[in-house]
Structure 1
């Protein structure tokens, strides 16, 4: 993927620790820009707010947000994802979404363009989009009982693999190759407590997969 052009809109190039031991760092190159047009993300916004209303995206009592949602842009590897630190908001506006324009799974880095930064969780979305071009939407939710019920009953990442790391990206590929993830379209992250992810050729399909398992 090509690099976004540099301009006066480039406001920050930063890295931060997201593992306590500080071994792996997530690097985000943020190019501050105008929000993406609401007409392009209207369905994304509706789905995100619906998931929040169900408690599947939100914030824990300690203030840490959970869950996010994304869609691929056209036939590219670019995608729009709900921004970092938005889990506490009941309703997101276009300024709460950002466009990931480039990523490097090995280096645990990405570039995003928009009014808000992308979180490290976006790299797992990137891994899935890069594996299959027909995947157009991804939903990542948290729910403790649902997570426990699905654990090792659907494709499940290894417990020792933390979320938002290069190792987790590799786990996505392993699940596609060894655990029929392409057909199941749902996975549990054993090393990311409460985390469940679904995907599909549309947000509707990703949501249908989620609620089919939810009702069982």
Structure 2
């Protein structure tokens, strides 16, 4: 068990990690397939600075819990079940969460938590980085304000604003003005989120 601050870039949150065995691959089949597809397209990967980018999650058993890809796994082409963890509890205002599994959670986990909490119809979330896609989407789809730092309680509140006032669920995708190249897709299922993302991605090819 670990209790530590995750610090990647400007992101810091208190993480209570209970190390445990991985889920079976059959339980994560859809999540693993879509994650690897995003890697193939370069939407999840690792930057020139060696820091991984992109993460993916799905709601777990119709609860507020969710399974998410682990921190700094962007360099792995085929992410096995050992690369995922279950976020079981979180407190957004206090910037902390609890997870159980073989991997530490993505540093963007609280953003995913904010989405699953605020809109219970969301079943999957995909966060990718792609400069051309980001430029194309910026301010043409729901977009977070530039001054909002990513991976923070402020970002959670900003995404809630997009749900309420910019019809985020209808678009199924948002751009992060203050987080260069960042794009987040949401859907009633993980496949629905992926299809929205692929629709916009294919339009720039």
TM-score where L is the length of structure 1:
0.91
Q: Deviations over 1:23-63 (max 9, x none)?
A: x7311100000101211111110110111011000000110
Distance 2:15 2:52 in 1: 18
Pick from 53, 57, 76 the counterpart of residue 66 of structure 1.
53
* TM-fit CA distance, 1:207: 1.1
Q: Deviations over 1:140-180 (max 9, x none)?
A: 11100110111011000011111100000000100011101
Matches within 5 A, 1:1-216: 11-18=1-8, 20=10, 25-216=12-203
Unaligned 5+ runs, structure 1: 1-10
Distance 1:124 1:159 in 2: 16
Contact between 2:39 and 2:77, CA under 8 Å: does it hold in 1? yes
Distance 2:34 2:6 in 1: 29
Unaligned 5+ runs, structure 2: none
Contact between 1:18 and 1:26, CA under 8 Å: does it hold in 2? no
Distance 1:153 1:43 in 2: 29
Contact between 2:57 and 2:124, CA under 8 Å: does it hold in 1? yes
TM-score where L is the length of structure 2:
0.95
* TM-fit CA distance, 1:214: 2.0
- Against the structure 1 CA distance between its residues 136 and 28, is the aligned structure 2 distance closer, same or farther, given a 3 Å change threshold? same
Q: Deviations over 1:84-106 (max 9, x none)?
A: 01001111000000000001110
Distance 1:174 1:143 in 2: 24
